[in-house]
Amino acid sequence: MANLKEIRNRITSVSSTMQITSAMKMVSAAKLKRAQDAVDRMKPYSRKLQEILSSLSSSLDAGDNIYADGREINNVVLVPVVSNRGLCGGFNNYVIKETLRLAKEEYSGKSVKIVPIGKKATDSFSKTDLIGKDTFLPTDVDGIWNDLNYNNSADITAKLMEAYVAGKVDKVVLVYNHSLNVATQIVEKSQLLPIQQTESEVKSTGLDYIFEPSQKEIVEDLMPKTLKVQLYGILLESMAGEHGARMTAMHKATDNASELNKELKLQYNKARQAAITNEILEIVGGAEALNG
């Protein structure tokens, strides 16, 4: 059994850790509220923009939309969205594993490049030959989390669109965490390019519009904005998910530290009681020896 000094040191260490994890939990909770508010403010604009675009593009031929070209898929770009920091459970690992699965299984036999957003993904994929270092792809974008805003996000989307229009990229897929609630995130993938229109969107357009300028010009102007908003919305959602995952992880860590602290205090009291009992026995034994 460990001596009293060792147990006291462990109790002090665990108590210090518990204070740190509890503080990190409160910080993440505050950041989560701000991130969720940003997502809620973004959703109405994104939803309405998508609705307008669907109404306009439903009657256009695929060839009239440069971002909906039905070309053969040879060059695929995967964009995993993770965080720069850890201590958030499996938030980063799940996205990284899903990205690797897509590269090795779903897009096996095709040229796959990865454009990671987040230092954890950059560190992981830098050990492979998948990370995209081509000049036409976005690079070194981890700093976006230091100051996430629409303009920073739009720069990434613009470069991906340029590569797609130039024919250097045939498909762009985003891999990210979607938050079901504060404690639960699930990995999802969203195709950024080429544009996909669902059957429900096609059926929902039955009105006759008068366009000024032409319908094609309006779509060409709205399409880049829609794609940029799509990526920005995913980045905001991923940030909120990161804070939620970290808050949950720190909550569990605090609970575990509290339980360990209780066990150590119980162990300390038992050891202290045993030490006192031994001292009493030694005193009694000494007294008996003197009497004898």
Please, are residues 11 and 259 in contact by the beta-carbon 8 Å criterion? no
Q: Which of 24, 79, 88, 239 is catalytic?
A: 88
Domain assignment of residue 291, yes or no: no
210 vs 48, higher pLDDT: 48
Domain assignment of residue 72, yes or no: yes
pTM: 0.84
Q: What pLDDT score was predicted for residue 60?
A: 61
Q: What pLDDT score was predicted for residue 2?
A: 64
Q: Taking all residues of the chain, what is their mean pLDDT, rounded to a whole number?
A: 85
**Cα 118 from Cα 141, distance rounded (Å):** 7
Q: What pLDDT score was predicted for residue 248?
A: 92
Domain assignment of residue 47, yes or no: yes
Percent above pLDDT 90 for the chain: 45
Number of domains in the chain: 1
Region 231-252: mean pLDDT is: 93
Please, are residues 194 and 160 in contact by the beta-carbon 8 Å criterion? no
Q: pLDDT band at residue 53, thresholds of 50, 70 and 90?
A: confident
Please, are residues 213 and 253 in contact by the beta-carbon 8 Å criterion? no
Sheet of 185-193: strand order equals 111-114, 75-80, 171-179, 185-193
Q: What pLDDT score was predicted for residue 198?
A: 55
Question: Residue 38 is part of which domain span?
Answer: 25-248
215 vs 260, higher pLDDT: 260
The CATH number of whichever domain residue 59 belongs to comes to: 3.40.1380.10
Domain assignment of residue 272, yes or no: no
Q: What pLDDT score was predicted for residue 197?
A: 63
Helices within the chain (DSSP H only): 4-57, 91-101, 119-125, 150-165, 199-203, 215-291
Domain assignment of residue 283, yes or no: no
Q: pLDDT band at residue 254, thresholds of 50, 70 and 90?
A: very high
Residue type, 17: T
Region 157-161: mean pLDDT is: 92
Region 145-171: mean pLDDT is: 90
**Active site (annotated) includes residue 105:** no
Domain assignment of residue 233, yes or no: yes
Name which of 44-53, 118-127, 132-141, 280-289 the model is least confident about: 132-141
Q: pLDDT band at residue 70, thresholds of 50, 70 and 90?
A: confident
| Residue range 110-121, pLDDT digits in tens | 999 999 999 999
Domain assignment of residue 260, yes or no: no
201 vs 118, higher pLDDT: 118
Q: What pLDDT score was predicted for residue 279?
A: 85
Region 25-42: mean pLDDT is: 91
Contacts within 8 Å (CB) and 24+ apart, 121-126: 121/80, 121/81, 121/82, 121/92, 121/95, 121/96, 124/96, 125/80, 125/96, 125/99
Domain assignment of residue 261, yes or no: no
* Close Cβ partners of 89 (under 8 Å, ≥ 6 residues apart): 245, 246, 248, 249
Region 184-189: mean pLDDT is: 90
Q: What pLDDT score was predicted for residue 194?
A: 85
Q: pLDDT band at residue 202, thresholds of 50, 70 and 90?
A: very low
Region 175-203: mean pLDDT is: 78
